[in-house]
Each structure stands twice: as structure tokens, then as C-alpha cells.
Structure 1
């Protein structure tokens, strides 16, 4: 990666003999280990009350895929977005020890916590690369790793829990290759890039950027063999990922997944589509800056400045181009493929760029801590200007839709904290508060000496933890979710085709012992052999007994859930579930 501010050069005539290089502090490895353990504990604390999916169908898609990869029953996610198999592959060991859904979910939170905590040692390496000293880098990287952008989604079974660590590991390996040209670094970066493409569609953008970077480095350093080795590994990893995802798609999406390619093509080939994509990309950049309290804005300006700096090294320019291409490529492509769901998050969304939030936050913090004076002031002013322009683009395009469309708090964890409102988006207010926090970091950076970085780190940690506490809300006492049906977990389960998709998806994970099939009760045919439970829709005001007028003799209903996604389960008289009633 590229340093935010170039270190000063001392003229040869005035240079003094360099002092002996101090020995590597023995305490550093222990400090990194202790900090990583602390990061794990913090993440587990915020996820302590979570026992089941809340963000559906995403979480259920990943969890069911992990269960199938571990040898258990799959599910039918036909018609939903395809959730790739790379992340479920990491979760599948949880099913080796238990089949209880609540226990599995707890183990998943542990896996997320461990992988998310790796952001601290990786962030330390990045902070050192950005020019922070050995004393300043640990506190800054520890505090930055606690940003909600890199921590909040770790409390859910989502690929966003591991992508930030993967992206940072990829950038560090690619940076070493750009500087030294070693094949081992190219191979390591290619492994990370190809695996990210197996985890999420954003990884496909990153893989394309990675291949372009390999070509650029090979041309600059004339090291074709090392780049070719990395290219071969990337191709092999991509092929293996495609095989894995093809198997997952065939097993869990028998009727086909939601096709976003048609929407993407329409957006890219029409003027209204381009307006949607560009405005959405601006909204993601706005969210990236605001959600990092303005630090990502400083980092964005500092990284972009490397491209126009005359004396910048070729490797610095290459990595600056890589980071910027990855950022804007993800923002543009994900916005173009995002369906219009009449939600505020269609116009300003932060989740897709969380994978690069730590990179820019560290770059911004390092730039402020190292530059000081007028340079820091100019960087801050440029960051404020960037976030204001991005916010104006969102407001100009979305207009009244920012108030009339549905506001989902899950889309805006940091923004709700900045505006103290869980029910609406106040874009300008959030921008002003974030700029105010950035000015506070600027003031701390001017303390000078060894005090600037620790002071900034302390403030960053306090704000980040406060935002996480606000976003996660008061955690109730941990309670295991009730079983989906009465009686033991046994027998086949089928859902009526008229059942709301939300209810159908929410059954796929707690029904762990079998794959939930489909049945059409209007056809008048009895359920297939071995089916002991049939789940049918229960409209408001309908008694359970009237939900299936033509039910087979002996089948009895059990009260399910009411509301727009209500359902009732019917049980056969010869099945264990029915005998328990």
C-alpha cells in the first residue's frame, strides 16, 4: 500500500551518520497477541445475546449453505440472491460439533470474532506501511479495528464479517509484490483475491483489479515469471471457487437464483440506469467517509494525491490506483446491480464498502498524525469538501425519497448514532457531526511529538465503542429461540407454495433435521410419503382450523405465528410431533 504522506528527504550534505538500528522490541509480538485476544472478546461481547438469524434471507442463505457443506440437509432458496460458498465454507466446522441451531449460531459468532480480530495485527502492518512509528501504530490500529464498519456486521452471519480482513491481507501481500517482485508475494495475494471472489460478488471486482495490478507490476519491474505465477494461482483459485459455487447453486437453488445480470445490463446501457448507479456510488462514498468519522475522507484524499505526486515511487502509484479502483469499482458495480426496493438504503448504503473502510481510516489517521500543520488542515478541508459533494449528489438524485421510502436501521448503524435517530436518515446532520469529529481528530493531531497518535487512538476507540453500543441497542438476556414446531425434531417438513417468502426462509435454518420441501394444498393431493408437518399461510383473522380446509383426516393444526408473515403448522397423526400434542 502507499503511505499517505511521503517522508521528508534529508540532503546528503547535511546528513549525519545513522545511529545503530535498535533491536526489535521483544514485547511487540506479545502486544499483538494480547490486542488480538482483546479484539475477540469485544466482538463476542457485542454478539453475546445473538442466537439466530435476523438479516434474512442473507444470514439464512449462508447458514444453510454451511450446513449442507458439512453434510447436513440443505434448503430451497430458489428465487433469492445467490449467496456464494466461500464464507459458508468457513462456518461449516460449527456443524461438526452440534446440530442445535442456537449453539451453531453461537459458534458462528465465535468464528466471526476470531477472523474479525485479525484486523488488529493486519492493521498494525498497514499502519506501519502508512508511516506510523512502532509506538504509534499499535494503539491507532487497535482503535481503528473497533470501527462499527469493521465490527458491526461481525455480529451477523454475513460475508461482511470476514471481507475486511481478507481485503487488508490481499493489499498487504500485493504491496510487497509491487515493491519487491517476489513470486511468493504474488501467490499469496492471488490466493486472497481468488478466495474473495468465492466469498462475494464484490470479490469478483477485486479479482479483476488484482489481475490488472499483476500485469502493471510485471510491466514496471519486468518480472514476468513472478506475475505469471500469481496469475496461474489466481486462475486456479477462481476455477476451484466456480466449482464450489456451482455445487452450492445446484443444491440450494434448484429453481434458479435471482438474476441480477439483466438488471446490471439495463443500468449500464441506459441514461436513467447510469444516473442510478453513479448516484448510488456517490452515496456509498458518502457513507464510507461519514461512518469513519471523516478519517476515510482524509485517507481517500491522501491516497488520490499519490497518483499526481511527481516524486511518488512506481509501487506507491500502483497501490494507490489499486485501492481507488477497488473502491470505486465496488461502489459503482454494486449500485448498478442493486434492485430498487423502495428503501432509503438504495441511495446511501455503507455495507458494500466496509471491506475498505479500515484501509482508508488508517491512511487518514496516519496522514493527520504524521503531517501536521498546513498539510493536515488541507487534507481535512479536502475531505470535508468530498463528503459534502457526495452528500449533495445523493440529495439531488433521491430528493423526497430519502423521507418517503422505507428506512431500515440495519442499513445505517453509524448514522443513527451520529443523529440520535433510529427512524429516519438526516443526511446533512450526519455529515456535519462527522465533520465535527474529524476536526476534533485534526486538533489532536496537532499535539505533536508522541502524544498525537495515542490521543487520536483513544478518541477513535471511545467514539467507535459508543457507536457500537448505540447500534446494537440494549442487549436482552440470552435466550434460545423456541423450536419451530411442537414435539421432537423428526419427520419430513413441507411448506405450502402460497406461504410468504419471509416465513419460508425463516423456517429453513431452525428446521435443521430435514430439507423443507414444497407442497400445493390447493391441488387436493395428500402430502408426499414421510412428510409429517405441512406449514401453510395464516392470514390475519383466520382461525388455524380454517387455514387448510381440505386437510387429510387426522391431521391437526398447531398455532403458529400471526401477522403479515403468519403461518400455522399441520401435523400428521402418526408422526412424533403430533403425538406430543
Structure 2
């Protein structure tokens, strides 16, 4: 990252310029309309981004990205003092993101109202990518006008926009990561005041960055990677004499306190949601790190995630990744301010640690799910993709011809090499394993096929977009607006088609297959027990509709249905009536109130 104002010696600033001298008299009067105009632009732009998100999510009324959405909703319910939801032997969902959902739970009076309130929260937070992307582009040296335009493009990338339609940490993590990077950049580079005193802005930025990292850790295991990168920077700053140890102390204390609070919050959820244990993803990591096959799985799947981010952004994120790597290798060439080369290298290295750490750690933790998304997946790296995209845009707009061609060649080579790794490792599994459309909102658009995955067609489409971006970006006068228009049309097209062809059909199916509200007044039922043999997407949907009820699970093969529950949902065997679904016959007073046969699984609901 660079700036326009050099500083002196070891305290030079690559983060912010010194505030200009305030204009006097008539100059001040003329400056105020300019500031008001920019404030109005950002206010209207943020509202427009919020409106786009609410429009796309207008028909989302039920969790479909299961079990993730359900897990966060139930965690939020527990935090309000609501009933438990047994999700034993599943992935642990942390409490940081559910804290943001508490107003939706407190104000909503039914499950759909709560869900819509959560999406409103997502929209308000996710739209903050606009000012953050603007600040990031400005620090990368992009002109103010084009920083604003491309900040809008960054904010409508599917990795930011599409995931805001679901109750997922992916709706907020891109904003958290971008905010952290900007704050830690400020903390590293704010110049000291006369007399060697640290300004309050430095301490505020350091503490803010640490708290954001701690919050990311409280939200998702990916936050642990961010925590490692942040700790590296805190240790490097005094060691390299960029900051004094006493300047590090406030940031370190804030990070430690925030992380401890997040750990306590997450631990408090375990007995309410995982009374019989979780699915031991940490054990998967240990097994993968201690076997040759595990290393092959981890490295190949991580490479597939990098491939996806490149193709999903038309190669622009790959250009950004190449530029970040170049800044690590040759920081003096990447920094426009003398004396900041080391800090540039440290920040670039931290970004690489985040990318590699998330890609390979999440791959190591993944169980074998027999789906194509195991091998090529975009969600885990979605939180860092907007940052890489912004860096790529800065390269396209500002880099000299030779440097640009080098970055583009590196990005194209990385994309093709990653595709080769995916093809070599996954092979025919890319056509044999289960295709889940939700895993591929961007590549489905690029190949115009929402029923199958096409590795090389998507790769070619991504490279064509990259070539077009290079061509459109070169004309100095008309290039930037054309480039912004092309990238925006592609990004919005991806999210609109994904919403229409993926999200909304999932909502319609989930509602048709599980909604019990017309069969029984769920408000009067204080507990619901669901048979373990009912497929988990349906089981969790029943928990969702019975919002006010304590949810538990039992295995009807070995355990009689718990008659203490108000509603019992049993697996419905084939070739028998629903009334025969109760093992060994229903006790007196129990009767079937609803039953469905679906592609996901068959069930019958009983009550007294």
C-alpha cells in the first residue's frame, strides 16, 4: 500500500497522509461543498448497496444453506435465553456472528420474521464494503473518482453480495477482514508526534484491529488464521523498530481480552447445542497432517480454492495475489514511499498467510463428503477475495505496461496450473460426485450450466475475462469506466442468476418439504423431537419452523420416541402408511398430523 506524502526515517507513513492545512476564508467555503458532495455520494451509495441486497434476498424465508444457517440461528436463539437445539456430532457454530442477530430475534415474532431481520442485519453490514474498498483502493494509489467507482464493483462481487442473502458468517467476514487490514496498516504507519509520543490514532487503530481479529475468531475457525497473521505483525513491529514495545501493548491487550471473551462465548454454547459432542474437525486436521494421503488431500483441495477465486473474479483476484507475492519478494519496488518497504512486505506476507492458511487449513478439516465442492470451492476464501480483487484493480489501472503484463502472465499461469492440479487429483470425480449448485454461483454463470461442473470451460471463461480486463483498462481516458462496467455486469449477473436458479428454488423446495405451520399450531408446542434417521436438512428445518420449541434428537432404531415431547417427527418407511411409522405401534392418544415424501427424505409428524 502506498500514499502520496513521504515521511521521515523509521516513522515514515504509508498509511495516511498528514492532514492538510485547513483552508481559510473563501477557500474553506469552497471546500465544504466538495466534502458534502462526497459524504452524500457515500451515503447514497451505501443505501443503494443495502437496497440491492434486500432486493436479492426478498424471497429468502427459510435456511437452505444447512446446517450452517440453522446453526447460527439456533446459537443466536440460545444467546437470548431461548430453548436448546441438539446439533450433536455436527460442526460447531461459534457465537460471534449470532451476537449480531440478537436484535432480529428480539424483534421478530415468528421464524420468517427472525430470518428476514437477520438478512437486514447482513445487508447493513455487508454494504460497508463500499467505503472500505474505497479506502483500500485509495491507499493503493488509485484516483479518488475511480476508487469510488471500483469500490461499488468490489461491493457487488458474488463473494460479498450473494452470501449476504444467507444467515452465514460469509455475509460479514469480508467486511471484517478488509477493516482489519486497513486498521493494522494505519497502526503500522501513523507517524509519531513531536517528542516521540504515540498519537491516539495509533492506539485506536491497533486496538481496533485487534478487536476485529478477536471478533473474527469468535465468528469462525477461519478467524484463527487471521489471529495468527495479526500476532505476526504485532511481534514484527517492535522487532523491526517500526513501533515501540509500549505501542504494541494496547493492541496486544485488546486482542488477548477479545479472544478470551470470544472463547468463553463459544464454550458457553456447547452444552446447549452439542451435548453429545461435535464432528471433531480438529481430528481431521491432525490425521491429514500426519499422513502422506492427508497432505495430498490438503494441498490439492487448497489449490482448488485458489483456482476458484481466480476464475470467479475473471482473473483479477489472481492478478492481486501475484502483486501481493511480488510485494513480498521485492517490497521496495512495491512501495511508493521511502522507508516503508519493510512494512509493505510484512502486510503483503500477512495477506499471503491468510490466503494460504485458510485454503489449506479448511481443506485439512473437511471430511470426505463425496461432492464436487470438496475439490473446488469458493466460500472459504471469499472473505479475502475482495482485498485481492482491489489489489488486482489497482494493478490494472496503475501498473506500467511491463509490470502489468508480468502480473497478468503470472495470474494466468497460476490459474492454469491450479486447474491442472484439480484435474490431476480429482479426475473423473468431478463428474461422478454430487454436484451441488449452491457451491458454484460464479462458475455456473461462466459456463451457463447450473447442473454440472466444467473445470476447463470455466478456466477458459475466466482467462477470457482477464484478457478483456487488460484490454479495457489500458486506454487512459475511457478505459476505467469500461472496465468497471464490464466487471460490474459480470458480478451482478452472477449474483442475480445464482439467486434465481439456486437460492429461490432451494427456498421453495425447503418450504414445500418441511413447513408444518398449516398442520399444527407450533406456538403451543414447547418441545419437538426428531428421529435421527430423518435426513439432517429436513431435521434442521423442523427445528426452524418450531422456533419456540426446545429441539432434541433420538434414534428410533434403538430408542423409543420420547413421549415427553409435544411433537415427534419420525422417519417414514416405504410401502407403509404414515400411521405405521411409529416403531411397534403408537401409544394411545398419539396421531399423525402431517407427513411428506420428498426427494431428500420421508417423514411423519406426530402429536397428542
- Fold equivalence (TM over 0.5): yes
Selected match of 1:305 from 319, 323, 326: 326
> 1:90 matched to which residue of 2?
100
> 2:343 matched to which residue of 1?
315
Contact between 1:368 and 1:442, CA under 8 Å: does it hold in 2? yes
Query: For 1:487, what is the secondary structure of its paired residue?
Result: coil
CA distance in 2, matches of 1:532, 1:250: 22
Is 1:284 the equivalent of 2:305? Answer: yes
Query: For 2:606, what is the secondary structure of its paired residue?
Result: strand
> 2:577 matched to which residue of 1?
543
CA distance in 1, matches of 2:397, 2:578: 65
Q: CA RMSD in A?
A: 2.3
State the Cα distance separating 1:75 from its structure 2 match.
0.6
Q: Deviations over 1:120-173 (max 9, x none)?
A: 011100010111011110001111210111111111111101000000000000
Contact between 1:495 and 1:517, CA under 8 Å: does it hold in 2? yes
Trace 1:508-547 onto structure 2 (pairs within 5 A).
508-519=543-554, 527-529=562-564, 531-547=565-581
> 1:140 matched to which residue of 2?
150
CA separation of 1:545 and 1:32: change in aligned 2, threshold 3 A: same
CA distance in 1, matches of 2:358, 2:331: 28
Contact between 1:59 and 1:158, CA under 8 Å: does it hold in 2? yes
State the Cα distance separating 1:484 from its structure 2 match.
4.6
State the Cα distance separating 1:485 from its structure 2 match.
6.5
Listed as ranges, the gaps of 5+ residues in structure 2 are 7-19, 192-201, 336-340
Trace 1:350-369 onto structure 2 (pairs within 5 A).
350-369=378-397
Selected match of 1:118 from 102, 107, 128: 128
CA distance in 2, matches of 1:456, 1:219: 42
State the Cα distance separating 1:409 from its structure 2 match.
0.8
Is 1:552 the equivalent of 2:587? Answer: yes
CA distance in 2, matches of 1:217, 1:353: 27
State the Cα distance separating 1:98 from its structure 2 match.
2.1
> 2:469 matched to which residue of 1?
441
> 1:214 matched to which residue of 2?
234
Contact between 2:368 and 2:374, CA under 8 Å: does it hold in 1? yes
Q: Deviations over 1:97-138 (max 9, x none)?
A: 123111111111111111110000111000101110111100
Is 1:199 the equivalent of 2:219? Answer: yes
State the Cα distance separating 1:477 from its structure 2 match.
13
> 1:575 matched to which residue of 2?
none
Is 1:36 the equivalent of 2:46? Answer: yes
Trace 1:113-512 onto structure 2 (pairs within 5 A).
113-180=123-190, 182-220=202-240, 221-309=242-330, 311=332, 312=335, 313-449=341-477, 451-473=478-500, 481=511, 482-484=515-517, 486-489=519-522, 490-491=524-525, 492-512=527-547
Contact between 1:418 and 1:430, CA under 8 Å: does it hold in 2? yes
> 2:607 matched to which residue of 1?
571
CA distance in 1, matches of 2:188, 2:102: 35
Listed as ranges, the gaps of 5+ residues in structure 1 are 10-18, 573-581
State the Cα distance separating 1:7 from its structure 2 match.
8.3
CA separation of 1:62 and 1:477: change in aligned 2, threshold 3 A: closer
Query: TM-score with structure 1 length normalisation?
Result: 0.92
Query: TM-score with structure 2 length normalisation?
Result: 0.88
State the Cα distance separating 1:526 from its structure 2 match.
7.5
